[in-house]
Amino acid sequence: MKRLLHKELRLTAAPVTYYFLAFALMTLIPGYPILVGGFFVTLGIFYTFQTARESGDILYTALLPCKKRDVVAAKYAFCVLIELAGWLLCAALTALRLTAWREAAVYTQNAMMNANFAYLGWLLILYAMFNMVFLGGFFRTAYKLGKPFLLYGIAGFLVIALAETLHHFPRMEALNSQTEGFSLQLVVLAAGAIFYALATLAGCRASQKRFERIDL
């Protein structure tokens, strides 16, 4: 498993996957749906799967002396590492907005989602949808990418739309604050973390069962 993960990071990963981590900087953009930055991080992962498919990576890896379930686990572990790297970058930039720039006019008068604890929770939910919808869909065939990514794109933008809308409802304004209402935001963050862990684990186990049934 460890060697398979090393292969994913050093050989399989498309360079653009690492470059797209820079989209975490969208956390700093005022008046913009900043969760889109998280979507671009997952798009970077998609490019790795696309490149790997064209190079026959799945077939090559399955021919190695390893279990098919470990092949799936390594793919999931790679995705989790990239997602957590993107999340940590966003968390660092969010900390900057909540401290040094918390009183900046461009953020206090921002009608769109602000970078706070709730934002970090929604980001985990977005990543969970990628792991559940795209990865789960991909391992039904270990080849088809278009439909799983389209379904994830729809689910992902529904998550973004919900996150951008919810804080406009009565008694939900605290979700967009950078100075107060942190208790409600922490609930969203905790819920996002739990959902991410459960969805990723469940998705990985389901994908392992599907992949073992595929005749490569």
Instruction: Supply 67's token pair.
Output: 């279990």
Count of residues in the chain: 216
Q: Give pLDDT tens digits along the chain (216 positions).
A: 778 888 888 888 899 999 999 999 999 888 889 999 999 999 999 999 999 988 888 888 877 888 888 899 999 999 999 999 999 999 999 998 888 877 676 677 777 788 889 999 999 999 999 999 999 999 999 889 999 999 999 999 999 999 999 888 888 777 777 777 788 889 999 999 999 999 999 999 999 999 888 776
pTM of the model: 0.92
Whether 176 contacts 102, CB under 8 Å:
no
User: In the chain, where are the structural domains located?
Assistant: 2-213
**Separation of alpha carbons 57 and 90, rounded Å:** 31
Among the listed residues 180, 208, 214, the one whose alpha carbon sits nearest the alpha carbon of residue 1? 208
